[in-house]
């Protein structure tokens, strides 16, 4: 038996451990064995040293009498760095309210992983694609496990399965079997005509605003548009958001938006705050109850094109809306989604659907007025595709529109609306770069900062859709660009979101010219919302009277 002494550089010398390496027949085997012993997540990054000299073969190690030093990616193992905080509040005032700007500053100061604590909760953040991949791959090292440090903890709901539940919960497996087929590429295509109708139904309102010469608040109207569409497709409900210019927002999206805003507050104010029997925690409880009752009502009244049960994939293509699908879809054993999961899962998917898409649509409108030339290029592509005001835009059509595709991709890179998704360490472990993480630590993959990481993206601040044509970007590592996260717990609504955004842009840009309000197109993000959405963004729309001629290549 070949037992050798190993120690982690960075730990005290008397921490050396005896490891039996007799099974190792190659240097890579040895790294695997030692990696497994110390929970070094990526053993390929291990370096061995004997008497301060790097060893790259097995033989000197099997022959060594003395202890063998271990480094990870050339680093000693180390605690994750971060700013020291104040008593009780921790780093709160260092991070908020401008969390995007301040976290960027912290990445610049501390490197690809740092930690902060707010009101007693500690989170770790990364902008590194390799660490993102590790965190998002459900494994013995990481899982979506919503513990008290996790930002979703105040609204955790195991029955929902998706989004607000732990991967290890049986509810996630059940809901994740039934819900994704309803939002798969084919299923979503069959909702394209509904998406067209939703956006054309908004035209009388934008026409009237044009006639009045009024600028409008982009987020407010995009929230109406996207939540109205989600209401139709998910719940089979008509929210009447474009019945008039001032039609109020339906109570359901209003309640979900409020719930998210309160959750942001609760998750940053500390555990004690969420236990108050009054104020925000009470409001959160009431909102949850209200939304629950409303969705339960939709389940009872949702319009259906039939009554028979259908196998999952069939149901996804034949259903009138997602609730209709969920009440009729059966798995291969003839079983349905349990009723107890249905309401919670629908609430979560509905909320996840419109809060994100309203932000994305708002940023897409922002780009039309803020980034010169974009509107003209997009319109030209539509004209070249021979779209007219009457065209019912289909998934097949938008697949032929590369400018539209890269405009949306680049917008999701620079202005990504998403939650900062968190994953929990399932064991004490050592990350690439030698960072030590304790079991239970929550690692947030900072999507905005990953997409703005200069080690990954050239001139990351520059909005440049044409970068998507370059070999560098085409051949990128898959976790360098992850607006919908990655792995088993990634977004299941991305087909929906992208098709909706493309259809809406085609219809809106073909019909209207967008102009900024004021001298400069400026939009600030809302630091108090859990998603990244613009506030104070006003634009004017003018009905187009003339369209460009088709370009030479399209004739």
Site for ligand HEM in 49-78 (CB under 6 A): none
Contacts of 512 (CB under 8 A, 6+ apart): 206, 210, 541, 542, 543, 544
Please identify, using beta-carbon distances, which residue of 497 and 521 lies nearer to ligand HEM: 497
Site for ligand HEM in 159-188 (CB under 6 A): 162-163, 176, 183
CA–CA distance from 146 to each of 153, 228, 397, 502 (Å)?
6, 30, 40, 33
Contacts of 491 (CB under 8 A, 6+ apart): 352, 484, 485, 497
| Near ligand HEM by CB under 6 A: residue from 489, 502, 507, 540 | 489
Please identify, using beta-carbon distances, which residue of 183 and 198 lies nearer to ligand HEM: 183
- Residue pair 368/375 in contact by the 8 Å Cβ criterion: yes
Could you say whether residue 228 binds ligand HEM (CB under 6 A)? no
First to last CA, the chain: 77
Could you say whether residue 365 binds ligand HEM (CB under 6 A)? no
**198 is an annotated ligand-binding site residue:** no
Q: Tokens for 293, please give them.
A: 């009752």
| Near ligand HEM by CB under 6 A: residue from 421, 432, 434, 534 | 421
Rg (CA), the chain: 26
Q: Which residue is nearest to ligand HEM (CB)?
A: 493
Sole window of 40-48, 248-256, 480-488, 534-542 interacting with ligand HEM (rule: CB under 6 A): 480-488
Sole window of 28-36, 381-389, 394-402, 484-492 interacting with ligand HEM (rule: CB under 6 A): 484-492
Q: Tokens for 317, please give them.
A: 């293509």
Please identify, using beta-carbon distances, which residue of 353 and 432 lies nearer to ligand HEM: 353
Please identify, using beta-carbon distances, which residue of 150 and 540 lies nearer to ligand HEM: 150
Could you say whether residue 192 binds ligand HEM (CB under 6 A)? no
CA–CA distance from 190 to each of 185, 203, 350 (Å)?
9, 23, 18
DSSP state of 232: I
Could you say whether residue 484 binds ligand HEM (CB under 6 A)? yes
Please identify, using beta-carbon distances, which residue of 8 and 348 lies nearer to ligand HEM: 348
Q: Tokens for 47, please give them.
A: 């370096």
Could you say whether residue 349 binds ligand HEM (CB under 6 A)? yes
Contacts of 306 (CB under 8 A, 6+ apart): 318, 328
CA–CA distance from 279 to each of 151, 267, 269, 274 (Å)?
20, 15, 13, 9
Please identify, using beta-carbon distances, which residue of 77 and 183 lies nearer to ligand HEM: 183
Q: How many residues sit close enough to ligand HEM to count as binding (CB under 6 A)? A: 25
Could you say whether residue 43 binds ligand HEM (CB under 6 A)? no
- Residue pair 100/529 in contact by the 8 Å Cβ criterion: no
Please identify, using beta-carbon distances, which residue of 72 and 188 lies nearer to ligand HEM: 188
Binding residues for heme: 491
Q: Name the residues that contact ligand HEM, by CB under 6 A.
A: 162-163, 176, 183, 348-349, 352-353, 356-357, 360, 417-419, 421, 483-485, 489-493, 496-497
């Amino acid at each position: 038996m070949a037992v050798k002494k190993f120690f982690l550089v960075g730990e005290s010398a008397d921490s050396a451990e005896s490891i039996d390496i007799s099974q190792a027949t190659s240097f890579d085997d040895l790294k695997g064995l030692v990696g497994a012993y110390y929970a070094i997540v990526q053993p390929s990054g291990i370096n061995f040293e004997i008497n301060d000299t790097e060893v790259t073969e097995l033989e000197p190690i099997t022959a060594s009498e003395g202890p063998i030093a271990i480094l990870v990616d050339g680093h000693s193992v180390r605690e994750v760095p971060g700013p020291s905080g104040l008593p009780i509040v921790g780093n709160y005032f260092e991070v908020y309210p401008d969390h995007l700007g301040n976290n960027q500053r912290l990445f610049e100061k501390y490197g690809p992983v740092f930690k902060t604590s707010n009101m007693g909760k500690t989170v770790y953040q990364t902008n590194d694609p390799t660490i993102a991949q590790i965190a998002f791959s459900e494994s013995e090292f990481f899982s979506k496990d919503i513990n008290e440090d996790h930002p979703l903890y105040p609204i955790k709901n195991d029955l929902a399965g998706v989004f607000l539940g732990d991967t290890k919960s049986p509810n996630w497996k059940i809901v994740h079997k039934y819900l994704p087929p309803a939002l798969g590429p084919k299923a979503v295509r069959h909702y394209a005509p509904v998406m067209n109708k939703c956006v054309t139904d908004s035209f009388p309102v934008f026409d009237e605003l044009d006639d009045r010469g009024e600028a409008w608040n982009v987020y407010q109207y995009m929230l109406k548009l996207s939540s109205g569409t989600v209401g139709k497709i998910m719940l089979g409900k008509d929210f009447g958001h474009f019945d008039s210019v001032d039609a109020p927002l339906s109570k359901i999206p209003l309640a979900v938006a409020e719930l998210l805003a309160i959750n942001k507050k609760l998750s940053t104010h500390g555990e004690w705050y969420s236990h108050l029997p009054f104020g925000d925690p009470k409001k959160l409880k009431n909102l949850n109850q209200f939304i629950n009752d409303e969705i339960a009502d939709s389940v009872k009244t949702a319009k259906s094109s039939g009554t028979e049960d259908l196998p999952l994939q069939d149901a996804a293509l034949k259903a009138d809306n997602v609730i209709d699908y969920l009440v009729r879809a059966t798995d291969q054993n003839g079983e349905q989604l349990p009723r107890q999961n249905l309401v919670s899962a629908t609430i979560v998917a509905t909320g996840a659907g419109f809060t994100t898409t309203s932000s994305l649509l708002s940023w897409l409108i922002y780009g039309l007025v803020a980034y010169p030339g974009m509107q003209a290029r997009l319109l030209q592509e539509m004209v070249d595709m021979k779209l007219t005001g009457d065209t019912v835009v289909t998934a097949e059509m938008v697949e032929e529109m590369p400018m539209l595709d890269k405009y949306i991709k680049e917008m999701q890179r620079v202005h990504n609306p998403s939650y900062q998704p968190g994953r929990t360490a399932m064991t004490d472990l050592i990350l690439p770069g030698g960072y030590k993480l304790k079991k239970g630590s929550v690692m947030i993959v900072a999507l905005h900062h990953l997409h703005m990481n200069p080690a990954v993206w050239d001139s990351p601040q520059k909005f440049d859709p044409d970068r998507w044509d370059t070999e560098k970007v085409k051949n990128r590592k898959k976790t360098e660009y992850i607006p919908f996260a990655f792995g088993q717990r990634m977004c299941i609504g991305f087909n929906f979101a992208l098709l909706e955004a493309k259809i809406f842009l085609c219809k809106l840009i073909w019909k209207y010219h967008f102009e900024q309000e004021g001298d400069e197109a400026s939009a600030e993000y809302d630091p108090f919302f859990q998603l990244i959405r613009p506030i104070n963004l006003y634009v004017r729309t003018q009905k187009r009277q003339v369209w460009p001629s088709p370009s030479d290549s399209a004739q």
